[in-house]
Amino acid sequence: MTTNPSEARTLEAIKYHRGKLELLDQKRLPQEFVYDACTTSEEAFDAIRAMRVRGAPAIAITAALALAVEASQRRETFSSRDEAVRFLAAKLELLGESRPTAVNLFEAIGRLKAYVSATSLNLADDAQGARALIDAFVNEAEAMLAKDVADNRAIGAFGAEALLEPAGKGNIRLLTHCNTGSLATAAYGTALGIIRRVQELGRLDHAFCTETRPYNQGARLTAFELVHEGIPATLITDSMAAFLMKSRGIHGVVVGADRVAANGDTANKIGTYQLAIAARYHGVPFFVAAPLTSIDLSMEDGSSIPIEERPASELTDMNGVRIAAPGIGVWNPGFDVTPAELIGGIVTEHGVVYKEGGASGFDLAAHVSQARDTVKTKKH
């Protein structure tokens, strides 16, 4: 379905009403604004693999909601609870094969699998138990959508405060990389959510976004969002970032994350690492915006984060036309890992984590456990 983007209040990568999921085809942006129906896990798998939907939180939410839609359609067909458990487990397994780097997907899959196992224990192993399990699964998947929006707003508020504090009363200029906005999340965005919040507070002088070679999420998607939101913004090539910092007085760099290890080493879109190096050289604060679902405490540091390698044609071709010399070899990692040492702060929905007393890394295990305690206390 084609929609006029100017009619949309905020851009939505994922449109969901119970039983119906539509995904904005981000490969067609900014020329075309088209939503495709997604009714099965296989269709979600294809949309994620082909990057029609992308961005760490959006990938995880799409996987969960697509399975919720598919499971609702199959609700009456299960003759036993265990048949429904096997169905959900197999589909979650499949969705986990779609893309390797963003941990949000695996966090969601692990959590949903555990939820299915725990919930099924209290249900009878018959058709009624199967229906109850499917209904519970749908509720759980839907909760992810609402939580992501709330988390992003919190990240926006904490990040804006951290960036504005050293600026006194002045307005600030921020640089971001890749796309971390409404198109990469359920809405609002993470790093772009921080920029959005600074703008809402009337304190944004200007935003700069990199084009983010080779897939151009910055030029195609972030630029599209910034224009749509009326945020004063300028596009630069990735290779202009260091000179921008030197010549334009940038107050902060804010980026998203696909996976943050326990010490704060952060996998994010290729090019993030060199931005962090340039920021350190120029004394520009460098912040990572990441919901807790992007933190992978099972990895001590970033050395074993799997890095997706993308097709050579993304470098050699533009709009289907070969631009690189025939015969040249190509290396196209989709992500890099920025060492914690170069990161000034990590902004989650529970606050900003800084390094303690001259440490080179962050204590994210402590932050996560504190956050979980806060959530538990609030529930009681």
Please list every residue from 113 through 172 that binds ligand MRU, using CB under 6 A: none
The whole-angstrom separation of Cα 155 and Cα 194 is 7
Quick check: 178 binds ligand MRU (CB under 6 A)?
A: yes
> If binding means CB under 6 A, how many residues of this protein chain bind ligand MRU?
17
Is the separation of the CB atoms in 41 and 91 below 8 Å? yes
For ligand MRU, which is the closer residue by CB, 119 or 294? 294
Residues in the chain: 380
Query: Applying CB under 6 A, which of residues 214, 256, 271, 302 lies at the interface with ligand MRU?
Result: 256
Given the complex with ligand MRU, which of 68 and 257 has the nearer CB atom?
257
193 binds ligand MRU per the rule CB under 6 A: no
* Choices 120-128, 180-188, 243-251, 321-329; region in contact with ligand MRU by CB under 6 A: 180-188
DSSP string, 273-324: HHHHHHHHHHT--EEEE--GGGEETT-SSGGG---PBPPTHHHHEETTEE-S
| Torsions phi, psi for 314 (to 5 deg) | -65, -25
Q: Which stretch binds ligand MRU (CB under 6 A): 197-205, 253-261, 311-319, 355-363?
A: 253-261
> Considering the rule CB under 6 A, would residue 62 count as an interface residue with ligand MRU?
no
Interacting span for ligand MRU (CB under 6 A) from 33-41, 49-57, 153-161, 198-206:
49-57
Using rule CB under 6 A, residue 302 touches ligand MRU: no
> Taking CB under 6 A as the rule, does residue 220 contact ligand MRU?
no
Q: What's the closest the beta carbon of residue 55 comes to ligand MRU, in angstroms?
A: 4
Is position 180 an interface residue for ligand MRU (rule: CB under 6 A)? yes
Q: Alpha carbon of 77 to those of 42, 85, 91, 126, 131: distances in Å?
A: 19, 13, 16, 11, 9
217 is a contact residue toward ligand MRU (CB under 6 A): yes
Of 13 and 123, which has the nearer Cβ to ligand MRU?
13
Which region, judged by CB under 6 A, interacts with ligand MRU, from 12-20, 55-63, 87-95, 245-253? 55-63
- As given in the structure block, the two tokens for residue 86 are 């096997």
- CA atoms of 163 and 160, how far apart (whole Å): 5
Q: Is residue 57 close enough to count as binding ligand MRU by CB under 6 A?
A: yes
Which CB atom, from 268 or from 348, has the smaller least distance to ligand MRU? 268
Instruction: Decide: 175 and 241 in contact? Cβ < 8 Å.
Output: yes
Residue 370 amino acid letter:
Q
| Residue 379 identity | K
Q: Is 148 a catalytic residue?
A: no
Contacts of 200 (CB under 8 A, 6+ apart): none
* Binding string, residues 326-365; x marks residues near ligand MRU by CB under 6 A: --------x-------------------------------
Q: Decide: residue 169, CB within 10 A, 0-12 exposed, 13-18 middle, 19+ buried.
A: exposed
- Whichever of 69 and 289 has its CB closer to ligand MRU, that residue is 289
Q: Which of 148, 151, 258, 265 is catalytic?
A: 258
214 makes contact with ligand MRU (CB under 6 A): no
Residue (74 or 228) nearer to ligand MRU, CB: 228
Cα distance between residue 140 and residue 182, in whole Å: 21
Asked if 251 is part of the footprint of ligand MRU (rule: CB under 6 A), the reply reads: no
Cβ pair 48, 94 in contact under 8 A: no
Measured from each CB, the residue nearest to ligand MRU is 256
Q: Which runs of consecutive H residues, i.e. helices, occur in the chain? A: 41-49, 56-73, 81-95, 103-120, 127-164, 191-200, 217, 223-229, 241-248, 272-282, 313-316, 364-379
Residues that bind ligand MRU (CB under 6 A): 54-57, 102, 178, 180, 184-185, 190, 217, 256-258, 268-269, 334
Q: Which residues are catalytic?
A: 258
